[in-house]
């Protein structure tokens, strides 16, 4: 409920923390996302995962962080469509 109030009141939230490699103590890089953040009017909250990796050669350390994105549907306003769904 607190997350929904933050979205409604447009409260500023901290950027997600980028993890450090526990071996080399350098900032990890984002490899990709698993799952799909919510973008359709019937969904209000969806969970997705961020996959980070260590940029040092030979290091196989990865970290998966789960995130939740909240969207409040607005009546009469069309949701944003992904680029691959557009006809052009």
For the chain, give the percent of residues with pLDDT over 70.
60
Domains in the chain: boundaries: 14-73
Per residue in 10-30, is it b (16+ CB within 10 Å) or e — as a string? Answer: eeeeeeeeebebeeeeeebee
C-alpha 16/C-alpha 67 separation (Å) is 9
Dump pLDDT digits (tens) for 11-45: 776 656 789 999 999 999 998 888 765 555 555 67
C-alpha 35/C-alpha 21 separation (Å) is 24
Per-residue model confidence (pLDDT) at position 63: 93
Question: Is pLDDT at 84 greater than 60 in this prediction?
Answer: yes
pTM of this structure: 0.59
């Amino acid at each position: 409920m607190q997350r929904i109030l933050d979205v409604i009141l447009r409260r500023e939230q901290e950027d997600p923390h980028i993890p450090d490699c526990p071996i080399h103590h350098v900032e990890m890089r984002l490899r990709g996302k698993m799952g799909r953040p919510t973008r359709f009017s019937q969904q209000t909250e969806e969970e997705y995962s961020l996959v980070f990796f260590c940029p040092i050669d030979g290091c196989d350390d990865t970290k998966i962080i789960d995130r939740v994105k909240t969207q409040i549907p607005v009546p009469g306003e069309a949701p944003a469509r992904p680029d691959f769904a557009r006809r052009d």
